Amino acid sequence: MRAFFSSPWRPFREDTPLTNAVMIFVLTTLFYFLGAMMRLVEELSLFWPLNAVMAGVFARYAFLHRWHYYLISYVAMLAYDAITTTWGTASLIINFSNMVFIITMAQFIGWERSQMLKAPEPVNALKLFSYCLVSALLCAFFGAIGSVGINDQGFWPLLADWFGEQFSTGVLILPGLLAMGRPRVPLHFAWRKTMPIVAVAVSVLASVVIGGAGSLAFPLPALIWCAVRYSLPLTSLVTLITGGLEIILVSSGKINIFVSSPFDIPHMFSARLGIATMAICPVIVSVSVEAINRLIRQVSLRADFDFLTRVYSRSGLYEALNHDDNRFADKHLSVMLMDIDYFKSINDNYGHECGDKVLASFAQKVQQVLGERGVVARMGGEEFVVVATTQDAKEGKQLAELLRKSVETHPFKWRQQTLHLTVSIGISHGKTEAWQLTEMFNELLAVSDENLYRSKKRGRNCTTDGDNSVAAEHHAPVPMDN
Ligand SMILES: Nc1nc2c(ncn2[C@@H]2O[C@H](COP(=O)(O)OP(=O)(O)OP(=O)(O)O)[C@@H](O)[C@H]2O)c(=O)[nH]1
């Protein structure tokens, strides 16, 4: 089982052009044969899967976008026709129209993929729908011209026929083909998980029993249930089967969309049910999207804020700087890197729980004293950064000293005991511009880091400025008392 999931086998590879060519020829011939066989069964003659399948193949493997590969597919179609039909030159145009669908669709999807800057994402379903529309229209135009000579019908009915067939088959087949992949985790069967599929089957049955125009919409809610519960490939497969089945049932008269049957149910009943089913679908989607959005908000909130101290996390700080650039850009900034002195001894003497509590109280104290003048972020461990907008370096130093002193004089409570902390600060200053806010901040942070190191070397509980001047008189570290 494991070997199956990790098997590296791929039908097409960039470094095997000959195999690719043979595979394209074989696949085209196979699906041409399948389509031709389906033409013999009246209900199945409504489908022509070749174009959608080949478009999916060319779209999935970008390196197949070469004219010679398209030509091989075209030659395979012509060869099949030459052996099995008497169409003569009409075959050139008819198969050209097949190629129009395949190439247009593959180019559209290839273009969309090239726009995806990061990892490839699933192709947007709404766009896929419109790509199918355009490709089917183009294909139908040439197909109808080619078919006029070998068919009794006129150009317009042929155009409608071609378009309907290409568009519906494309929309049904392509999403599944593009999403198809090996399951990442082994599949586990559970009866409970089949409920959405059972609902689809029941709703298709209801379409047959109730009939009428509205009955076509009956499976929609169940299909959306599948979409919510199942993976994209499985949802696409269920949709393909349901859509295909509905087309067959309508064409064979099993779903009678003109007369409500077989129990002589009034037309309005079917229409009302159909409209109601349709109306609930956007609501189902909207509820799901809202739940997803809520989850995204929660996750990004967790990433932006430090769970323990409730100030910004490192990544949250960068977000704040960039999203709140009105507040920070083109301003004089003071960046203060703060590190609690001898924090290890708090953990060692009072335990980690106390250490955590002290970290949270420390962050809140700094935040409270800082107020609206800037933002606080935890950079990791017992190291915090304050980014404040100040008039000049002097005001920045004063603020750093204010923060340092307020920590020094603040009694931190732990159970029945009072702890005293001190903090060392490295500070730097600079004026930022919106377009280089992050780079500037990083540079200032590096200077603050060096200055913090100096503060520690100088005996802690002090602020060191960029020019290494002493911002305040040196204070000896204050040991904790109980
Ligand atoms: N309780 C608690 N401790 C932490 C956390 N993150 C880091 N620490 C501890 O913080 C301590 C940092 O110690 P050091 O880097 O040696 O620095 P220090 O004892 O503060 O000494 P100086 O910075 O040199 O003044 C380590 O013991 C870490 O285990 C945390 O989230 N909670």
pLDDT digits over 466-481, tens only? 654 434 344 444 434 3
Answer yes or no: is the C-beta of 342 below 6 A from any ligand 1 atom: yes
Ligand 1 centroid to Cα of residue 343, in Å, is: 5
Beta carbons of 336 and 426 less than 8 angstroms apart: yes
Ligand 1 centroid to Cα of residue 381, in Å, is: 6
**Nearest residue (CA) to ligand 1, atom 32:** 356
pTM exceeding the 0.80 threshold for the entire prediction? no
Answer yes or no: is the C-beta of 340 below 6 A from any ligand 1 atom: yes
- Whose tokens are 């049910």? That residue is 273
Question: What is the arithmetic mean of pLDDT over 279-289?
Answer: 81
Show Cβ contacts of residue 263 under 8 Å, excluding neighbours closer than 6 positions: 209
Closest ligand 1 atom to residue 345 Cα is: 19
Q: Which long-range contacts (CB under 8 A, 24 or more apart) does 192-197 make?
A: 193/229, 195/225, 196/222, 196/225, 196/226, 196/228, 196/229, 196/230, 196/238, 197/226, 197/238
Q: Which residue among 313, 343, 347, 425 has the greatest number of ligand 1 atoms within 8 angstroms of its CB, and so is best to mutate?
A: 343
- What b/e sequence results for 99-128 when a residue is b if at least 16 CB atoms lie within 10 Å of its CB, and e otherwise? bbbbbbbbbbbbebeeeeeeeeeebeeeeb
Answer yes or no: is the C-beta of 382 below 6 A from any ligand 1 atom: yes
pLDDT at position 327 over 70: yes
Ligand 1 centroid to Cα of residue 363, in Å, is: 15
Residue 45 pLDDT grade (very low, low, confident, very high; cuts 50, 70, 90): confident
pLDDT at position 438 over 90: no
**Nearest residue (CA) to ligand 1, atom 15:** 344
Ligand 1 centroid to Cα of residue 348, in Å, is: 10
Task: Looking at 116-258, list the stretches that DSSP marks H as alpha helix, in order from N- to C-terminal side.
Answer: 125-148, 155-179, 195-210, 220-229, 232-251
Antiparallel, parallel or unpaired: β 383-389 and 332-340:
antiparallel
Ligand 1 centroid to Cα of residue 344, in Å, is: 4
* pLDDT tens track for 216-233: 899 999 999 998 888 888
Q: What pLDDT, on a 0 to 100 scale, did the predictor assign at position 345?
A: 94
Ligand 1 centroid to Cα of residue 351, in Å, is: 12
Can you tell me the distance from the alpha carbon of 73 to that of 60, in angstroms, rounded to the nearest whole number? 16
Residue 261 pLDDT grade (very low, low, confident, very high; cuts 50, 70, 90): low
> Average pLDDT, whole number, for the chain?
86
Closest ligand 1 atom to residue 353 Cα is: 1
Ligand 1 centroid to Cα of residue 468, in Å, is: 25
With a threshold of 0.85, tell me whether the complex ipTM lies above it: yes
Which among 131, 134, 113, 4 has a CA at the least distance from the CA of 62?
A: 113
Q: What pLDDT, on a 0 to 100 scale, did the predictor assign at position 474?
A: 43
Answer yes or no: is the C-beta of 427 below 6 A from any ligand 1 atom: no
Answer yes or no: is the C-beta of 449 below 6 A from any ligand 1 atom: no
* pLDDT tens track for 157-202: 899 889 988 998 898 889 888 887 766 666 677 888 899 999 999 9
Residue 122 pLDDT grade (very low, low, confident, very high; cuts 50, 70, 90): low
Answer yes or no: is the C-beta of 10 below 6 A from any ligand 1 atom: no
Q: Where are the domains of the chain?
A: 1-187, 199-236+245-303, 314-464
Answer yes or no: is the C-beta of 355 below 6 A from any ligand 1 atom: yes
Closest ligand 1 atom to residue 354 Cα is: 1
Number of C-beta neighbours around residue 52 at 10 A? 28
Q: Which residue among 341, 356, 361, 382 has the greatest number of ligand 1 atoms within 8 angstroms of its CB, and so is best to mutate?
A: 382
Find the helix packing angle between 267-304 and 195-210, rounded to 10°: 160
Ligand 1 centroid to Cα of residue 383, in Å, is: 9
Answer yes or no: is the C-beta of 122 below 6 A from any ligand 1 atom: no
Q: Which value, to the nearest 10 degrees, does the dihedral of the CA atoms of residues 342, 348, 353, 357 take?
A: -20
Number of C-beta neighbours around residue 335 at 10 A? 28
Answer yes or no: is the C-beta of 356 below 6 A from any ligand 1 atom: yes
Angle at 142 between CA 138 and CA 144, to 5 degrees: 110
Residue 4 pLDDT grade (very low, low, confident, very high; cuts 50, 70, 90): very low
Closest ligand 1 atom to residue 355 Cα is: 1
Percentage of residues of the chain with pLDDT beyond 90: 50
Q: What pLDDT, on a 0 to 100 scale, did the predictor assign at position 473?
A: 41
Beta carbons of 120 and 72 less than 8 angstroms apart: no
Q: What pLDDT, on a 0 to 100 scale, did the predictor assign at position 186?
A: 66
DSSP reduced 3-state for 9: coil
* Residues 314-464, CATH architecture: 2-Layer Sandwich (3.30)
Q: What pLDDT, on a 0 to 100 scale, did the predictor assign at position 476?
A: 43
* pLDDT tens track for 369-380: 999 999 999 999
Show Cβ contacts of residue 57 under 8 Å, excluding neighbours closer than 6 positions: 12, 24, 27, 64, 177
**Nearest residue (CA) to ligand 1, atom 5:** 381
Assigned token pair, 226:
């599948």
Number of C-beta neighbours around residue 286 at 10 A? 10
Ligand 1 centroid to Cα of residue 356, in Å, is: 10
Per DSSP, 218 falls in state T
Ligand 1 centroid to Cα of residue 382, in Å, is: 6
Show Cβ contacts of residue 185 under 8 Å, excluding neighbours closer than 6 positions: none
Closest ligand 1 atom to residue 308 Cα is: 31
**Nearest residue (CA) to ligand 1, atom 18:** 342
Answer yes or no: is the C-beta of 347 below 6 A from any ligand 1 atom: yes
Ligand 1 centroid to Cα of residue 233, in Å, is: 49
Q: Which residue among 346, 347, 361 has the greatest number of ligand 1 atoms within 8 angstroms of its CB, and so is best to mutate?
A: 347
